[in-house]
Amino acid sequence: MSQLFLDVPKDYLENLKYRRELRYRARRDSRLRAAIRTACRDDILFWFNAFCWLNEPRPEKDETGKEKPQIIPFITWPHQDPAITATYEKLGYEDVLWNKTRGEGASWIAVDFCIHDWLFLPLTSIGMVSRNEDCADTPDDLDSLFAKIDWTLTMLPAWMVGEYRRNLTKHTLKNLRNGSMITAY
């Protein structure tokens, strides 16, 4: 795995500036867009820290008492980096069990793993499982896994996402660029 993610700032404001500049430059440069897609494919931590976002519904205040934004960049914590890397390397090859507490972002991590492979690995078939249909796929309810996927896709640059087809009845998402599919169960 490459170490590109080491170039992505983990300071909140510096990360936002980095993301803005990267998107600005990529909008005008097709070679840069291709290089970014390759970097995201090859370095899962670059993908998380440069392109993924979180929607944090729990209100939180900063040290001055000002309310923090609800939509924040996914900047991995130091203890998440090895866990994300190790988990991603095992996906598809062996079962993975996480021992976690609330607030660790496990749902968002799982969603971003799925979107990553759906975007960057052709003909990938991904199944997301939750305890019932509503938890798996209820549009506009960010407690459901597929609503997190739908929301995340709106946060990514259009050139990265490309064309896709969402079937609400069958709970599927098909990437028309590379044939990959996500299905919620």
pTM of the predicted protein model? 0.90
Q: What is the pLDDT of residues 90-148, one digit of tens each?
A: 888 887 777 665 656 788 999 999 999 999 999 999 999 999 999 999 998 999 999 99
CA angle 116, 49, 74 (to 5 degrees): 90
d(CA 46, CA 5): 4
Q: Which residues contact 20 (CB under 8 A, 6 or more apart)?
A: none
Query: In the predicted model, what is the mean pLDDT of the chain?
Result: 91
Q: Would you say 130 and 184 are in contact if contact means Cβ atoms under 8 Å apart?
A: yes
